[in-house]
């Protein structure tokens, strides 16, 4: 049973456009929702994270929108740049041990 | 230069052989994690450790073993019982006193000969 479902699998956006990646979760006990960015041959790096007591969090060009009732959260990348081309993973965890359950990833390509 | 070092970058395993993947961190983090990444499958948790001399199984621990004898080291052994070991293995650490941010190493690609 996949606890965190991520879509789309791949996404192509033009430079300057908005990239949107969506995730849905099943476990209502999850209380931490991060997004990680991974470049080929490297480990993932934390991009931005949110907790369910807020509906939106923005850091630079990256925004998480969180809908607790729908059990969904999304990543918005404004003014997408070719350097943003990478694989993005959403994740969720419960409690203080931060055992993250990851989505399957979205390969983002930003064309110049 | 603080960080997580995984070695080797590439590793080949023969049938029936155990292999050990190294993970060392100099971030003074208490918690450490091992994830397995398969193409198009995301990351799945193998083992995690919140403190020295203690570790817990993750979602896919069968065929793997770990030890945590030192704070900075969390080696992963892929045993011969793991029938499909080909994957990209990622080690991570976390400062338990602050946020949930995981710091990942650059990974080890394990392949079967």
What's the confidence (pLDDT) of residue A89?
97
Q: Strand, coil or helix: what is A38? A: strand
Does any CB of chain B come closer than 8 Å to the CB of residue A57? no
Top mean pLDDT of B36-45, B66-75, B93-102 is at B66-75
Secondary structure element (H or E) that encloses residue B39, with its range: none
If pLDDT is split at 50, 70 and 90, which confidence band does B97 have? confident
Q: Confirm if A54 and A66 have CB atoms less than 8 A apart.
A: yes
pLDDT over threshold 60, residue A1: no
Residue B60, Cβ density class (10 Å: 0-12 exposed, 13-18 middle, ≥19 buried): middle
Q: Which residues contact B1 (CB under 8 A, 6 or more apart)?
A: none
Q: Confirm if A46 and A57 have CB atoms less than 8 A apart.
A: no
What's the confidence (pLDDT) of residue B15?
83
If pLDDT is split at 50, 70 and 90, which confidence band does B2 have? low
ω into B54 cis (within 30 of 0)? no
pLDDT in tens, A48-87: 999 999 999 999 999 999 999 999 999 999 999 999 999 9
In the structure encoding, which two tokens stand for residue B35, read together?
A: 């994830």
pLDDT over threshold 90, residue B54: yes
Q: In chain A, positions 58-87, which contact chain B (CB-CB < 8 Å)?
A: none
Query: Closest Cα partner for A37 from A89, A80, A74?
Result: A89
What's the confidence (pLDDT) of residue B1?
56
Chain B residues within an 8 Å CB radius of A9: 40
């Amino acid at each position: 049973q996949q606890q965190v479902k991520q879509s789309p699998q791949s996404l192509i956006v033009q430079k300057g456009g908005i990239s949107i990646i969506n995730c849905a979760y099943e476990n209502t006990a999850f209380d931490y929702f991060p997004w990680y960015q991974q470049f080929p041959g490297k480990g993932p790096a934390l991009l931005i994270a949110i907790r369910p007591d807020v509906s939106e969090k923005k850091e630079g060009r990256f925004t998480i929108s969180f809908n607790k009732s729908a059990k969904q959260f999304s990543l918005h990348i404004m003014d997408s740049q070719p350097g943003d081309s990478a694989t993005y993973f959403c994740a969720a965890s419960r409690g203080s041990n931060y055992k993250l359950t990851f989505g399957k990833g979205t390969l983002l390509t930003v064309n110049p | 230069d603080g960080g997580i070092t995984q070695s080797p970058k590439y590793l080949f395993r023969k049938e029936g052989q155990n292999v050990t993947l190294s993970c060392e961190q100099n971030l003074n983090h208490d918690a450490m994690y091992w994830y397995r990444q398969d193409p198009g499958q995301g990351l799945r948790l193998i083992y995690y450790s919140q403190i020295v001399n203690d570790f817990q199984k993750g979602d896919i621990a069968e065929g793997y073993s770990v030890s945590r004898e030192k704070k900075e080291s969390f080696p992963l052994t892929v045993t011969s019982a793991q029938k499909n070991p080909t994957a990209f293995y990622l080690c991570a650490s976390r400062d338990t006193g602050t946020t949930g941010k995981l710091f990942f190493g650059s990974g080890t690609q394990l392949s079967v000969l």
